[in-house]
Structure 1
């Protein structure tokens, strides 16, 4: 079964010729894969979305194990983010649905967790500067919305514009620091006595700030080359 063709906008190139449609294989860089149904990588991606309500539920529990459990659930979800991509390549089971769903699941998980962390002020520098976590959350979520719109436009434009928004190493570092920051902030959200809780809370906020800087930096890097294709 052929993957569906993605309909483009009715725009034309600078020489007046209509631009060719872009297929789902090209849109999601599938390399001609024709996996059908719910593959294992796609199931893992769906599982990542299902874990979001679990994180919300555990986050507000008033028990001694709530913070550790909440952090563990998020960590499992973060690991599946790497695992589903690895399995998709290893098993040659990529699909247009899976390629679409994967970044959506990532953004939902990160945005939901950031909003959670804004409801109960984490300990450490975030307590001293209460606007810090909401500011980082706003920057990161705004960046993700902007990048989603940019990639949608680039996919419609096709050609060099589509290649210009391919994931780069800066984006990967942004994701890695985000996952580490959120895991630590969930684990140490209530702090505690001793050097380890204090260092853990401080490191979590520091990594969140670093991931915010990387998010904005990577957005600027993506926007630079793509601006010349916008007319």
Structure 2
């Protein structure tokens, strides 16, 4: 979330600028897209940190912030699926990138639905789906992988093929963490429901 004049805007409001810059075929398009993505990720983290530290969190902010995060990640994944980094690995195995993208987006939609359902039930269920450290690691690996992948679309970047390959590998790690955290949440829900 970004605060402007006392009004909160999701970090994904930078999405239109990111979308326009993403399809510019030059080094500055890639640089602008990467900068916008990093700025959105940093302001989102900073806003959450300050809200917790200064106890300025609101119910609306707690609801909207994860939605903005998921939108930013999903939009970036879709953009990258439409124009992935031009590395031999992704040319030879075209399904390699969409697999973790679909897994991550599917997990995010599932968790949003589960959290919405838990909020309509009772406090114990809502506590069972509260963000945990595994979810934070998942987000950190996603943001790092996506930053690498967006930045390495500029083939003039030294070592871009190696970096992009590591970005894809990190995206698979993130997808694994996403499903692991989903399993942890479902196990917690099952414990609450079976009592």
**TM superposition score normalised by structure 2:** 0.90
3-state SS in 1 of match to 2:69: helix
Q: What is residue 97 of structure 1 aligned with on the other side?
A: 60
Please tell me whether residue 118 in structure 1 is matched to residue 115 in structure 2.
no
Out of 124, 140, 143, the position equivalent to 2:107 is 143
Q: Please list every run of at least 4 consecutive aligned residues from structure 1 whose deviation after the TM superposition is greater than 4 angstroms.
A: 41-45, 228-231
Q: Paired residue for 1:163? A: 127
Number of aligned residues: 193
Instruction: Determine the structure 1 residue equivalent to 2:72.
Output: 109
The CA distance in 2 between the partners of 1:42 and 1:82, in whole Å, is: 19
Comparing 125-134 with 68-77, greater Cα deviation is found at: 125-134
**Residues 63-121 of structure 1: CA deviation (Å, up to 9, x unaligned):** 22111211111000000121011121233221111111100110110000000001112
SS in 2 for 1:123: coil
**In the TM superposition, what are the counterparts of 1:2-81 in structure 2 within 5 Å?**
40=3, 46-81=9-44
Please say which of residues 151-160 and 130-139 is displaced more in the overlay: 151-160
Q: Which runs of 5+ in 1 are unaligned?
A: 1-37
SS in 1 for 2:9: helix
RMSD, aligned CA: 2.3
Say which one has the larger Rg: 1
SS of the aligned residue for 1:69 comes to helix
Runs of 5+ unmatched residues, structure 2: none
2 CA distance for matches of 1:162 and 1:206?
Answer: 33
Q: Does 1:208 align with 2:177?
A: no
Q: Indicate the residue corresponding to 2:143 in structure 1.
A: 179
Structure with higher helix content: 2
SS in 1 for 2:27: coil
Q: Deviations over 1:31-67 (max 9, x none)?
A: xxxxxxx994997861512101111100001222111
**TM-score scaled by structure 1?**
0.76
